Amino acid sequence: MAGKPVLHYFDGRGRMESIRWLLAAAGVEFEEKFITCPEDLEKLRKDGVLMFQQVPMVEMDGMKLVQSRAILNYIATKYNLYGKDTKERLLIDMYTEGVADLYELLLHLIITPPDQKESKMNLIRDKAKNRFLPAFEKVLKGHGQGYLVGNKLSKADILLTELLYMVEEFDASLLANFTLLQEHEACSS
């Protein structure tokens, strides 16, 4: 049996956080090797284990996995969190990309200059309330199974739950009118 996956990233959420969530939902224990200084990252680069010279990188099943979405897809497939057929995988990918779009908006808030922060926050609130959250609420309502796709937990559910916690941290009032999303968050955690 292979050892625990080893996650290489900075000591923070970022692009590794979704990978952590997916592994945890699959019940997979993992180790983390945090990059704490420029020399740590440079060593990984010099060792030739970072195909595109960037992290996250996950050592798993004898491979060095890079690129966040590829890592997520591998883990989801391996642990049966990626649908039962091509149609379910397509839906999971569509919903996951929607999650990623709002996730990226929230992450970019960190690097927004102070004088632009308020307008960026208003833009995020508007897009969350009028574009992304209604779409996910509609999917849950139309599907009627408590999951985004099929009748069991998928990568899309896990990543949506992670996103909902981020939205809640950003502005909890945004979830007030989305009952199914609130229930989804409670059930998936």
Walk me through the domains of the chain, giving residue ranges and CATH numbers. Answer: 6-78 (3.40.30.10), 86-188 (1.20.1050.10)
Whole-prediction pTM value?
A: 0.89
Q: 6-35 burial, b for 16+ CB within 10 Å, e for fewer? A: ebbbeeeeebbbbbbbbbebbeeebeeeeb
Sign of CA dihedral 61, 64, 70, 75: positive
* Whole-number pLDDT of residue 59: 97
The residue type found at 101 is D
* Whole-number pLDDT of residue 1: 47
Residue 55 near residue 33, CB atoms below 8 Å: no
* Whole-number pLDDT of residue 178: 95
Q: What parts of the chain have a pLDDT lower than 70?
A: 1-2, 185-189
